[in-house]
Structure 1
Amino acid sequence: MRVHHLNCGTFTSALMGRLVCHVLACETDTGIVLVDSGFGLADVADPTHRVGRYAKLTGARFRESETAVRRLETLGLDPSDVTHIVATHLDFDHIGGVADFPNATLHTTAAEHAASEGRSTFRERVRYRPAQLSPAPAVRTYSGPGESVLGFSGTHPIDELGGRIVLVPMPGHTRGHAAVAVDTGNRGWLLHAGDAFYHRSTVAAPGQVPPGTEGRALRVMEELIAVDRSKIRDNHRRLRELNNQAAPRVRVFSAHDPTLFDELAGERG
């Protein structure tokens, strides 16, 4: 499996610095699989209707060149070959590009799909934008006991993808948030942790990476928008352990950390 690391959205602010929307494009035998999709073409054309006013407060920058469609074209890949999109969660900065791939199936946890459909709290009305999933894509949801992968119980390997891409439920940021594990073969595992953490200092070995002003600001924001802060802290601990274990080798990264993105994007997929 060849994996490309794409930045499909940028945020900038004085306190938090530059943030990215880290999307994976996995070339598989069944087509191209995206993990998350960032902002899409329609978001760029009409951000207020599609994304809402909150995006402006976070410093979102809407650029057509950063959409997944354009990123794939730049790589010489055909966007019509995208057959599946595996979402860490359904926040507006993670699924805006879904509409650009009408033949793709969207995979998410049942809890996350229910939360986005119900939008029963103020947080959920801000973060979930119905316009981004209109027309409605084909959706497959996952729940139940699942399997054990990378020490996590209750995970859901996606059968259509040969079990090499796995939803790892990790609620806290949202009700149905998940990480997505990708088995790249002899290069080890990638774990796209979505918004289970924001800053690289969270999963680094103690004292290895200072959080700095940006990391501290991101931690405050993380706590403010989480639906369950205790689960966020438990996810931090589990991801830190996984990131620092010797074997199997797992590269843990979040959706928005620009340094982790730059490191991975600079490597050959």
Structure 2
Amino acid sequence: MRVHHLECGGIDPLGGEWLWGMDLVIHCLLIEHDTGLTLVDTGLGQQAARDPAAWLGRAWCGVFRPDPDIAGSALAQVESLGYHRDDVRDIVLTHLDLDHAGGLADFPNARVHVFENELRAMEFPRGIGETQRYRTPQLRHGPRWRLHAEGGDTWFGFTGARTLPGIPEEIVLVPLAGHSRGHAGVAVRTGDSWLLHAGDAHFGQLGRPGDIERPWVVAAFEAFAAADGKARRHNWERLCELAHDHADEVTVFSAHSGPELRALRARARALA
């Protein structure tokens, strides 16, 4: 398999690097394998470039100040590699937040894999937080859902992991609830090691929980955005342990860290 690290839509949140401690991106994966293409998350999507407020919501745009463009969409980057949108046969989502699922409509024929309780959170939101995080206009095309309950496998100590029908077994959905009810990580085996796209289960700051100092705005945002604060904290601590104890076997990265994206791109170029 070959893994491409894509930046699918720019964001420049209020306070910028000074508050967040890094530049923020939207990091998606495109995986080439024998049976087609698999996309991990979709970014903002091409409709965001045409009408950001309608597609993403005025409040979100006001805080995160997106700079979407057609050329930076996942679809445009797929096409730049010589593929057609229908070559993306599967999309695996970490969760359904608007900046992760915004490009689903650009791939209407793809099978969309997500944990069942994440879709239910979108369909039956609890309170204003869940009402605001999901954007129903992004789903009006009728995605071809493939819903999954947590499985019976264990992945580096994370229970409930599962492989997905029709997708190479080197791609594993890993439960990481907390940021949202059905949040997942997506693990991809590359040779003798793994990549773990941890979505929004962390924001680019991993280390021993008692040692790391995160920017206050990151900690505040994680707490504010969490559907289950206790589960989010628990899974963040487990990710810290994974990154520390298995650094030679697993590379853990988040969806929004610019430094992580650049480092992984550089590593991929070196391996190529």
Q: Taking structure 1 as the reference length, what is the TM-score of the superposition?
A: 0.92
* Letter matched to residue 147 of structure 1: D
**Matches of 2:151 and 2:2 in 1, distance apart?**
30
Q: Which segment is superposed worse, 45-54 or 256-265?
A: 45-54
In the superposition, relative to structure 1, how do residues 206 and 108 fare at CA in structure 2: closer, same or farther (>3 Å)? Answer: closer
**Matches of 2:130 and 2:98 in 1, distance apart?**
11
| Contact residue 205 and residue 240 of structure 1 kept, 8 A | yes
Deviations 1:146-171 (A, max 9, x none): 21122211111113113211111111
| Contact residue 198 and residue 219 of structure 1 kept, 8 A | no
| 1:253 aligned partner | 253
* Letter matched to residue 118 of structure 1: F
SS of 1:256's equivalent?
A: coil
1:70 to partner: Cα distance:
1.3
* Letter matched to residue 227 of structure 1: A
The yes-or-no answer on 1:142 pairing with 2:145 is: no
SS of 1:160's equivalent?
A: coil
**Matches of 1:37 and 1:256 in 2, distance apart?**
13
| 2:201 aligned partner | 196
| Contact residue 209 and residue 240 of structure 2 kept, 8 A | no
* Letter matched to residue 106 of structure 2: D
**Matches of 2:68 and 2:201 in 1, distance apart?**
24
SS of 2:252's equivalent?
A: strand
The yes-or-no answer on 1:49 pairing with 2:54 is: yes
1:208 to partner: Cα distance:
8.2
Identity of aligned residues (%): 41
* Letter matched to residue 48 of structure 2: D
Mind listing any 5+ residue stretches in structure 1 that lack a counterpart? Answer: none
The yes-or-no answer on 1:74 pairing with 2:86 is: no
Give 1:1-269 correspondences, 5 Å limit: 1-13=1-13, 14=15, 15-16=19-20, 18-56=23-61, 57-186=63-192, 188-200=193-205, 203-205=206-208, 211=214, 215-246=215-246, 249-268=249-268
**Matches of 2:100 and 2:168 in 1, distance apart?**
24
**Matches of 1:208 and 1:94 in 2, distance apart?**
30
**Matches of 1:205 and 1:77 in 2, distance apart?**
42
**Matches of 1:59 and 1:207 in 2, distance apart?**
32
* Letter matched to residue 134 of structure 1: R
Would you identify which runs of 4 or more consecutive aligned residues in structure 1 move more than 6 Å?
A: 206-209
Mind listing any 5+ residue stretches in structure 2 that lack a counterpart? Answer: none
* Letter matched to residue 89 of structure 2: T
* Letter matched to residue 138 of structure 1: R
**Matches of 1:259 and 1:100 in 2, distance apart?**
27
**Matches of 1:45 and 1:216 in 2, distance apart?**
34
| Contact residue 10 and residue 18 of structure 1 kept, 8 A | no
**Matches of 2:211 and 2:251 in 1, distance apart?**
16
Aligned residues: 263
* Letter matched to residue 180 of structure 1: V
**Matches of 1:185 and 1:159 in 2, distance apart?**
21
Across the aligned residues of Structure 1 and Structure 2, the Cα RMSD in angstroms comes to 1.8
SS of 1:39's equivalent?
A: coil
